[in-house]
Structure 1
């Protein structure tokens, strides 16, 4: 394997960690509330590391562009839906906030599926 391929895989893993941390931050915000636990950073970055690693080594039939698109636009749509539904404070509306996040990611995933 060439050095350029190593750098490409490392870029996919790091980029996935950053992009997946966006929707993961919303899920953690819903689960833990406004308190910031000591493990929050690890919980935000770990799913992106796993997904990025799987994409980089070809273990899942998903491209990096799909991870990028779904994470970014899922986060933006979930934030907009949560703002439109006025689900603040999250502690009183955890179910609706979680439905908004999961539903937004599902909608964006379907859009990406039919986009490509």
Structure 2
């Protein structure tokens, strides 16, 4: 295997470890994990697994879809929680989890729909 391909695989894994936890970090405030670094490590594990699977073409998604899912879900979580004025307290946990699941579904739909979107190139 060539060095550029190996570096690309390492970049995919590292990028997935950085991006995929974004939607899940919001849950750390709902479920207090002590010490906090343990919770942070736990939300990074799915990114590591998905990154390795994507890097070795063992998962039928692209690296771009992982990024799109992460960003769309994170933005949707912020918008829904701010728009519905949901505070992250134990009393609001059911509402926060419900809106979190909706936001993750929005991110999954955005990542799924991405390959089907065709952009036209304007001819000048």
Once the 2 structures are TM-superposed, how far is the Cα of residue 36 of structure 1 from its aligned partner? 5.3
Q: TM-score, normalised by structure 1?
A: 0.89
- What are the Cα deviations for residues 13-67 of structure 1, in whole angstroms up to 9, with x where unaligned? 000011012111012222228x753402211211111110111111110100010
Counterpart-to-counterpart distance in 2, 1:29 and 1:67: 23
Q: Could you tell me whether the CA contact under 8 Å between 1:75 and 1:101 is conserved in 2?
A: no
Q: Determine the C-alpha separation between the residues in 1 that align with 2:37 and 2:109.
A: 34
Provide the rounded CA distance (Å) in 2 between the counterparts of 1:38 and 1:113: 32
Within-5 A mapping of 1:34-113: 37-113=36-112
* Count of residues in Structure 1 that have an aligned counterpart in Structure 2: 115
Q: Which residue of structure 1 aligns with residue 12 of structure 2?
A: 12
Q: Which has the higher helix share?
A: 1
Whether the 8 Å contact between 1:70 and 1:108 is mirrored in structure 2 is yes
Aligned equivalents of 1:82 and 1:107: distance in 2? 14
- Preserved contact between residue 16 and residue 48 of structure 2 (Cα < 8 Å): yes
CA contact (8 A) 2:20 2:66 kept: yes
| Structure 1 residue 26 corresponds to structure 2 residue 26 | yes
Task: State the alpha-carbon separation in 1 of the partners of residues 36 and 19 from structure 2.
Answer: 21
Structure 2 runs not aligned, ≥5 long: 116-124
Q: Aligned to 1:5, what secondary structure does the other structure show?
A: helix
Which structure has the larger Rg? 2
* CA distance in 2 between partners of 1:42 and 1:112 (Å): 25
Q: Which runs of 4+ in 1 moved over 3 A?
A: none
Q: TM-score, normalised by structure 2?
A: 0.84
